[in-house]
């Protein structure tokens, strides 16, 4: 699914929004995988070829973009059979976050 963009946004605003949604989706998927498989952050970071600090800042806190190489290494460290599985989960989560943002907000309901 393609993310629908609010009318009136500039090309740069749309790109920035998609980038933020993608970073947040990566963080969500990685956190879930760490929890499900009981992986240690340090081990996944080391096997991905990055420091634990960078792993926490860039990946878990969604503060920085990661390179495609780190993404590929991380998919293996997280136990995916191929990087496409991680990519699919990230794209699905990003699309869900976009839909959640667009949905009308009901007072008293907290979004995940």
Q: Please write down the HEC assignment for all residues of 62-98.
A: CCCCCCHHHHHHHHHHCCCCCHHHHHHHHHHHHHHHH
Residue 9's pLDDT band (cuts 50, 70, 90): confident
Tell me the pLDDT tens digit for each residue of 32-68.
999 999 999 999 999 999 999 999 999 999 999 999 9
Indicate whether 44 belongs to any domain.
yes
Indicate whether 108 belongs to any domain.
no
Indicate whether 109 belongs to any domain.
no
CATH number at residue 74: 1.10.260.40
Q: How many domains does the chain have?
A: 1
Identify the domain containing residue 88 by its residue range: 13-100
Q: Where on the phi/psi map is residue 40: left (φ > 0), alpha (ψ -120 to 50), or beta?
A: beta
Indicate whether 1 belongs to any domain.
no
* Least confident range of 87-91, 102-106, 107-111: 107-111
pLDDT of 2: 55
Share of the chain above pLDDT 90, in %: 78
Indicate whether 4 belongs to any domain.
no
Structure tokens at 54: 């960078």
Indicate whether 3 belongs to any domain.
no
Indicate whether 41 belongs to any domain.
yes
Indicate whether 105 belongs to any domain.
no
pLDDT of 104: 73
Does pTM top 0.85 for this prediction? no
Q: Where on the phi/psi map is residue 61: left (φ > 0), alpha (ψ -120 to 50), or beta?
A: alpha
């Amino acid at each position: 699914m393609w993310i629908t963009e609010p009318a009136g946004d500039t090309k740069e605003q749309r790109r920035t929004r998609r980038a933020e949604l993608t970073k947040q989706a990566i963080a969500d998927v990685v956190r879930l995988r760490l929890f499900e498989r009981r992986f240690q952050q340090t081990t996944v970071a080391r096997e991905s070829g990055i420091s634990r600090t960078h792993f926490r800042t860039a990946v878990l806190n969604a503060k920085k973009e990661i390179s495609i190489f780190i993404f590929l290494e991380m998919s293996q460290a997280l136990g995916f059979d191929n990087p496409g599985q991680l990519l699919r989960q990230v794209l699905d989560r990003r699309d869900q976050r976009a839909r959640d943002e667009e949905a009308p907000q009901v007072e008293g309901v907290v979004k995940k």
